[in-house]
Structure 1
Amino acid sequence: MSKTILLVSGAAPPIIDGVGHYTARLLETLRAARPGWRWVWLTRKARWFHRPIASFRGVRIVRPAHGWYGAAPWLAGRVVRWVRPDLLHIQEQTHSFYETDAAIRIAHSARCPVVTTLHEFHGELPSCRHTVALVERSAAVITNDGRTGRRCAEATGREPDAIWWSPSNVPPLEGASRPRTKPGLVTTFGHINALKALDAVFAGLVQLNHRRPGVRWQLIGPVPAPRERYTELLRSPWVEFAGPWPDLYDMRLRRALAETHVMLLPFLDGATTRRGTLQAAWAFGLPVVTTAPELTEDAIVPEWNCLLVEPRDAVAWAGAVERILTDPALEARLRAGSAETARKYSWNQLASLHLSLYDRLLGASA
């Protein structure tokens, strides 16, 4: 029997937002797995003049407002009543909803089971009370890494029903379409901001370039204002800002990732399976240097699918990159580990888990 599933996110492409891109890929995969079901996406407009109803890769997308203030949550609730879903699934990321109560108000407008995926949990923010209320309203709660699950349990007293992951939002290039690796090209992918130890990476690569001239650093992602913080990077002839690309299917982006020799992901708060950029590096089969997760994660295996360094240790960044550039066996092992991890934590696997959960909840509510 056909079912109507309504997914909700605070943003959607072309807005550069990891959760929005995640929702797009999830819907695409779910629709392919269950083509007989009706899939609808509720989100906001990227521009005020965008049409309120459109189609995104075959999925109906409803955008009643440009933001989440004022009447926007009420309008979104009216959409829920109009769509009449059998199940409502909210992708919760408080910044995507402008730290408002929009998500919980949308949940309260539903007359069906509510599933919530917590992409982050910001217990330090006043808006955390809205996330807590959303968890209490939900029939099932998913987190996409163990740290978010722990924070949820500490703040709400409820353990998540499932701890899953966020696969790569960028489709890898395969076979003849994949370009050759550019020797010495290291890449950092994602938002360029103070949450990453970019200064330490830069200092380490300066040291490495003295020993091994020819190393180049490619940064792909939006740079926040003020750009003056990155003046030294911008002036370095071996550093290139190559993004951002709002369209993650853009062949220029995919080629830039495929040509990468080493991926550097200097998270100050550690790598986790919710990091779409880490998953992208694995999906492209790249050697990865990153930082240790706050909690142990089975997917992150040092010396197999990544090398781990202290985030602010410039010498360690230089040493890890040099190891990969000079040790073909290590490079091959890391590439194989990345590819194997990506297969295990794929969109198809994640969609299968979602459909099993939906079936269980829909059966219970029948």
Structure 2
Amino acid sequence: MVGDDRIRVAMPHGPAPVDRDGVSDYVAHLVRALDDVGVTVTPVPLRPADRAPLRWLTATARAAERVRRLGVDLVHVQFAPSAYRFSGLPGLLPFRLPGTVPLVTTVHEYGSWAVPSWLPGPLWSLLERARLWDRETGRLVPASAAVVVTNDGHDVAVRARTGTPTVRVPLAPNVTDRPDGSTAGRRLRAEIGLPAGAPLLVFFGFVHPVKGIRHLIGALPALRREHPELRLLVAGGFTSQALPEAEARAFRDELTALTHRHGVADAVTFTGYLPPERASAALHAADVVVLPFTAGVTLKSGALLAALAHGRPTVVTVPDDGGDGLHRSGAVAVVPERRDSDALAGTVGRVLADPALRRRLAERGRTLAAGYAWPRVATAHRDLYRRLLGRHDG
């Protein structure tokens, strides 16, 4: 598609750079992928002035003004409470947008937050069923012509609360595989001084208390009794929208102290944020990727999809509800308990001890991840935009 056939979209999102916010990273990938299928996207970050009174209200108004000046065909807001530092004011954005332009909202986090938090649940339900206000997104979900969700949990929550129809568009890997990945992985293993044949565990993604790194460090003493040269690479940044700099620094210090307390300080490397090519190398370097999230891992994790797309045997924790298709796919090894270092050590140890299991996990993981690719994500978005704008394929 060229020229006037291209769809023009404004995409408001949180202000953080890609190295501090998963949604901003998602937007960067999506913008590139949409360009390939005939959609021109202008990202519109809501940037509040530091320490200014009502800074998020001002940022929302300025973003709306920029959208109006762009003269786009459609507005697509990327929403996550953490991306806006848990301010409810970006939920006012629809009041300032042109009413003749369709609005789409993607909810990346949904189901566990409300602003104001003191409002009684029955009153929230009344407002939501009337499509007047949503406890998490303000006017965004009620005013949207379509609400995009990335997973079953958000789909169920949006429909139950608001009765709003949703469009399911799964995520895609947040790091894509590279042709020289295996070579880069071997180089990285040499850089960190890993002895030949020594097993390497890799955690990949933003480092946050809910990611279960404490429990993974706690599993290392038991694992090292069987594999004395085993190492852990924690590949990801600490500072994010969900974990501001001072809190991130304190958490890194806590984890460092924990490695000393468990006697494994020599076995753990914290890389900080890695650019895509280095992140891909870290994944290729892994013998096993371990994602021990304290709430369980589902297919809404871009880090998980990246690990599977790189053909890495991957260990995950299971959510309270027993998980989704991921946990029954045979594409991952599932830890039966969360927040449990012994359970982690048992599952990871089983994978390390069984080369045939590692090969099977790698093969099934690649197959599963093949269905979650950016061209598919972009095509689903483009088709949604066409339907909302009344355009025909061709």
Q: Does 1:325 align with 2:352?
A: yes
1:11-22 to structure 2, matched below 5 A, reads 11-22=15-26
Find 1:104's aligned residue among 91, 95, 102: 91
Kindly indicate whether residue 295 of structure 2 is the aligned counterpart of residue 287 of structure 1. Answer: no
Distance 2:226 2:333 in 1: 23
SS class of match (2:387): helix
Q: Which amino acid aligns with 1:88?
A: V
Q: State the Cα distance separating 1:337 from its structure 2 match.
A: 1.3
Q: CA RMSD in A?
A: 2.6
1:80 corresponding residue in structure 2: 67
Q: What SS does the aligned partner of 1:290 have?
A: strand
Give how far 1:171 is off: 1.9
Matches within 5 A, 1:306-345: 306-345=333-372
> Would you say 1:131 and 2:137 are equivalent positions?
yes
In the alignment, structure 1 residue 231 sits paired with structure 2 residue 256: yes
TM-score of the superposition, structure 1-length normalised? 0.85
Offset, 1:14: 4.4
Offset at residue 299 of structure 1 (A):
3.8
TM-score by length of 2: 0.79
| 1:303 and 2:330 correspond | yes
| Native 8 Å contact 1:185 1:259 kept in 2 | yes
Q: Is the 8 A contact 1:147 1:294 kept in 2?
A: no
SS in 1 for 2:56: coil
Secondary structure of 2:266's aligned partner: coil
Match of 1:164 in 2: 169
Listed one character per residue, the Cα deviations across residues 201-236 of structure 1 (whole Å, up to 9, x for unaligned) are: 222221110122111111122331314421334541
1:6-85 to structure 2, matched below 5 A, reads 6-34=10-38, 37-44=39-46, 69-85=56-72
Change (3 A) 1:225 1:240: same
Q: Distance in 2 between matches of 1:230 and 1:177?
A: 29
- Deviation, 1:297, is 2.0
Give the 3 Å change call, closer, same or farther, for CA 140–77 of structure 1 in structure 2.
same
User: How many angstroms apart in 2 are the aligned matches of 1:21 and 1:180?
Assistant: 23
- The within-5 A match list for 1:94-243 is 94-108=81-95, 109-110=97-98, 111-126=100-115, 129-158=135-164, 160-174=165-179, 178-179=183-184, 183-223=198-238, 224-226=248-250, 227-235=252-260, 236-243=265-272
Moved more, 232-241 or 342-351: 232-241
User: Are the structure 2 counterparts of residues 298 and 186 from structure 1 closer, same or farther at C-alpha, using a change threshold of 3 Å?
Assistant: same
- Identity between Structure 1 and Structure 2 (%): 29
> What does the per-residue CA deviation read over 1:314-364, in whole Å, with 9 as the maximum and x for residues that have no partner?
222112222222211110111011111111111111111111111111107
> Given residue 40 of structure 1, which amino acid in structure 2 is its aligned partner?
T
Partners of 2:289 and 2:391 in 1: CA distance: 45
SS in 1 for 2:147: strand
CA distance change for structure 1 residues 95 and 154 in 2, over 3 Å: closer, same or farther? same
Residues 297 and 361 (structure 1), Cα distance of their counterparts in 2 relative to 1, 3 Å cut? same
**For residue 176 of structure 2, what is the amino acid of its counterpart?**
P
Of the three residues 249, 252, 261, the one matched with 2:287 is 261
Question: What SS does the aligned partner of 2:316 have?
Answer: strand
The structure richer in helix per residue is 2
Q: In structure 1, list runs of 5 or more residues that go unmatched.
A: 49-64
